[in-house]
């Protein structure tokens, strides 16, 4: 009989499952040797490759290691050399493997600003970066005439405890803004469906969906009362396909179409063009506002010109409310469809009684690889850009295909620096088949590259998060990495943690400090692995 190989870090994760833990909030696990000594802690002079993409959740942890001015908690006095897969923020002193392809000019927000109009972005803190940074073409500063209202999200460990989150307060803030005659464009994101949809809690998901429906109904009515045109869209799908075919829960995003609705009484009988993708949203809004579409926008308005012309005759001013129902996808099959199961009279009415169509929000149509699901970064970027923007993942995959990945200057700088200086190389990031923050398919080539470069000490620090993954997937992927390091003869899985602690974007510095202490001081559950 073949003896089953024991992979200690994977088994430690499985033991955590048995104690009631799950991937997302997994408490830190740290490898020690047979003498109980810590293995693979980040030390002075070490090199780190943070191989995550997206970046908005990676900024805080990266800053904890490289920022010269860091007031949030005490740090060990040391210098750590960082390379990141993509640019997380312009001012971080790191090497970037795949720099931005270039600024996205003439986005919806920029065009509105250029014409001297005012705009307000409203959401809760959980998604603030999406309506600012991503919607604005990855611009870090607001445009002239742009104002933000960000309501704090509830401070809880699990949003299933409060699935309405801060949506009612966001809706109230929008209603107040709509009563102000100054803004020409108001943008609101209701986050609940996406955020709570990542949690395996049926009742909480239903409450999240119904909360968004109620809030959408409230702000649509308020906009119509003020003569403001409501436009409703989603950035990607989520809970409309909440079950795998075998009946287990799928907490990830989907590749389904999303709704697009114009709830303007003066255009109620108009038929929209079928539409293509989220790239058509910005051109349609500019068309409604009477603003010219810039040459950079390759998307198209979904409204017939004659309809706009007739409607605008008596319209002195065309104000717009853009509502983003985050994660609200469309799927006509009822089985496993939490959108259909929930009571959603407002969204149902909007999609039947007002001009509407469906848009692609995943795959190549929004710059993603073929067959991939949508995500909030890509969704908001394309809603604002009005054109197809290649995702960082596509560029990385192309470099893997042509072999240039293994010649990347940032990776070589880190690996050869560790070898030259006699220090350690750390590979830090998400461990998943397909997370919007990265993939094990990017980690494994880095391990192979370290083998080719002959790096003596290589340590992997994995972050787990079951979003779109099967139950127990974290342990599966950690075992996969342990097997790969064994096969290559390079690298050690040194520690594991849930992404809740490490990938924060709301300045929950207690979480980041916990991750820092895990990486540097070895705080966590110790696992004898040698």
User: What is the token pair recorded at 5?
Assistant: 């190989």
Give the per-residue pLDDT at 416: 97
Is the model's pLDDT at 194 over the cut of 60? yes
Q: Is 229:359 a contact under the CB 8 Å cutoff?
A: no
User: What is the token pair recorded at 519?
Assistant: 């990486």
| Coil/strand/helix, residue 470 | coil
Range of lowest pLDDT (5-9, 33-37, 174-178, 276-280): 5-9
Give the per-residue pLDDT at 314: 84
In tens, the pLDDT along 104-150 reads 999 999 999 999 999 999 999 999 999 999 999 989 899 999 999 99
Give the per-residue pLDDT at 467: 63
The answer as to CATH 3.40.720.10 being correct for domain 108-389 is yes
Give the per-residue pLDDT at 465: 80
pTM to 2 decimals?
Answer: 0.76
Q: Is 113:139 a contact under the CB 8 Å cutoff?
A: no
Q: Is 296:378 a contact under the CB 8 Å cutoff?
A: no
Give the distance between the most distant pair of CA atoms in the chain: 84
For the chain, the average pLDDT equals 93
DSSP conformation letters of 328-362? ----S--TT-HHHHS--HHHHHHHHHS-EEEEB-S
CA atoms of 497 and 9, how far apart (whole Å): 11
Give the per-residue pLDDT at 2: 46
Domain boundaries, the chain: 8-99+394-528, 108-389
Give the per-residue pLDDT at 1: 43
| Coil/strand/helix, residue 525 | strand
Is the model's pLDDT at 437 over the cut of 80? no
Per the listing, tokens 């040194």 go with 494
Per-residue 3-state assignment (H helix, E strand, C coil) for 143-207 = CCCEEEEEECCCCCCCHHHCCCCCHHHHHHHHHHHHCCCCCCEEEEEECHHHHHHCCCCHHHHHH
Is the model's pLDDT at 299 over the cut of 60? yes
DSSP conformation letters of 203-236? HHHHHHHHHHHHHHHHHHHHHHHTTPEEEEE-S-
Fold matches, 8-99+394-528 and 108-389: no
Backbone angles phi, psi at 190, to 5 degrees: -100, 115
Give the per-residue pLDDT at 24: 85
| Coil/strand/helix, residue 381 | helix
Per-residue 3-state assignment (H helix, E strand, C coil) for 293-321 = CCCCCCCCCCCCHHHHHHHHCCCCCCCEE
Grade residue 178 by pLDDT with cuts at 50, 70 and 90: very high
In tens, the pLDDT along 329-354 reads 999 999 999 999 999 999 999 999 99
Is the model's pLDDT at 103 over the cut of 60? yes
In tens, the pLDDT along 378-407 reads 999 999 999 999 888 888 989 999 999 999
Backbone angles phi, psi at 493, to 5 degrees: -75, 110
User: What is the token pair recorded at 18?
Assistant: 């048995």
- Going 129 to 135 to 138 to 144, the CA torsion angle's sign is negative
Q: What is the average pLDDT across 363-384?
A: 92
In tens, the pLDDT along 230-270 reads 999 999 999 999 998 889 898 889 999 999 999 999 999 99
Give the per-residue pLDDT at 89: 87
8-99+394-528: CATH number = 3.40.1450
Give the per-residue pLDDT at 46: 98
Is the model's pLDDT at 368 over the cut of 70? yes
End-to-end Cα, the chain, rounded Å: 24
Grade residue 3 by pLDDT with cuts at 50, 70 and 90: low
Give the per-residue pLDDT at 466: 66
Give start and end residues of each alpha helix (H) in 403-491. Answer: 409-421, 440-453, 473-488
Is the model's pLDDT at 57 over the cut of 60? yes
CA 153 to chain centre: 16
CA 54 to chain centre: 7
- Burial pattern 405-421, b for ≥16 Cβ within 10 A else e, equals beebebbbbbbebbbee
CA atoms of 408 and 454, how far apart (whole Å): 16
Grade residue 173 by pLDDT with cuts at 50, 70 and 90: very high
Is the model's pLDDT at 52 over the cut of 70? yes
Q: In terms of DSSP bridges, do strands 119-124 and 95-98 run parallel, antiparallel, or are they unpaired?
A: unpaired
Backbone angles phi, psi at 153, to 5 degrees: -75, 155
DSSP conformation letters of 40-65? S---TT-EEEE--SS-TTTHHHHHHH
Nearest one of 393, 326, 376, 437 to 57, comparing CA atoms: 437
Q: What is the average pLDDT across 12-35?
A: 93
């Amino acid at each position: 009989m073949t003896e089953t190989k024991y992979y200690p870090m994977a088994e430690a994760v499985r033991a955590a499952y048995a104690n009631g833990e799950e991937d997302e909030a997994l408490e830190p696990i740290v490898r020690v040797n047979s003498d109980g000594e810590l293995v693979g802690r980040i030390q002075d002079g070490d090199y780190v490759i943070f191989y995550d993409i997206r970046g908005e959740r990676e900024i805080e942890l990266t800053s904890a290691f490289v920022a010269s001015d860091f007031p949030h908690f005490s740090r060990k006095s040391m210098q750590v050399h960082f390379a990141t897969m993509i640019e997380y923020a312009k001012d971080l002193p790191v090497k970037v493997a795949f720099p931005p392809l270039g600024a996205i000019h003439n986005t919806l927000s920029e065009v509105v600003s250029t014409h001297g109009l005012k705009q307000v972005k409203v959401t809760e803190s959980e998604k603030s970066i999406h309506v600012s940074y991503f919607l604005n073409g990855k611009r870090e500063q607001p445009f002239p005439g742009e104002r933000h209202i960000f309501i704090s999200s509830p401070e809880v460990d699990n949003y299933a405890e409060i699935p309405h989150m801060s949506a009612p307060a966001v809706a109230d803030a929008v209603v107040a803004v709509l009563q102000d005659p100054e803004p020409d464009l108001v943008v609101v994101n209701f986050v609940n469906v996406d955020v709570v949809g990542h949690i395996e809690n049926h009742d909480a998901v239903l409450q999240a969906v119904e909360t968004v429906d109620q809030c959408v109904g409230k702000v649509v009515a308020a906009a119509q009362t003020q003569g403001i045109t409501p436009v409703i869209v989603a950035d990607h799908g989520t809970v409309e396909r909440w079950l795998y075919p075998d009946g287990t829960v799928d907490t990830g995003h989907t590749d389904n179409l999303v709704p697009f609705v114009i709830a303007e009484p003066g255009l109620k009988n108009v038929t929209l063009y079928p539409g293509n993708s989220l790239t058509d949203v910005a051109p349609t809004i500019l068309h409604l506002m009477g603003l010219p579409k810039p040459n950079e926008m390759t998307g198209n308005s979904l409204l017939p010109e004659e309809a706009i012309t007739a409607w605008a005759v008596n319209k002195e001013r065309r104000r717009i409310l853009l509502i983003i129902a985050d994660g609200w996808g469309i799927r006509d099959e009822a089985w496993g469809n939490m959108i259909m199961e929930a009571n959603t009279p407002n969204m149902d009415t909007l999609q039947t009684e007002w001009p509407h169509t469906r848009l692609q929000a995943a795959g190549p149509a929004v710059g993603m690889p073929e067959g991939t699901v949508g995500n909030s970064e890509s969704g908001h970027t394309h809603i604002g850009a009005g054109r197809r923007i290649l995702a960082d993942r596509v560029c990385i995959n192309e470099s893997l295909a042509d072999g240039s990945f293994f010649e990347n200057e940032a990776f070589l700088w880190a690996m050869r620096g560790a070898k030259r200086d006699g220090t350690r190389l750390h590979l830090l990031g998400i461990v998943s088949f397909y997370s919007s923050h990265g993939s094990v398919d990017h980690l494994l080539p880095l391990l192979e590259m370290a083998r080719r470069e002959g790096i003596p000490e290589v340590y992997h620090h994995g972050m787990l998060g079951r979003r779109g993954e099967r139950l127990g997937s974290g342990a599966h992927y950690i075992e996969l990495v342990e097997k790969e390091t064994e096969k290559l003869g390079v690298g050690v899985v040194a520690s594991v943690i849930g992404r809740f602690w490490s990938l924060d974007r709301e300045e929950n510095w207690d979480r980041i400090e916990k991750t820092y202490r895990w990486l540097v001081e070895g705080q966590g559950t110790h696992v004898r692995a040698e």
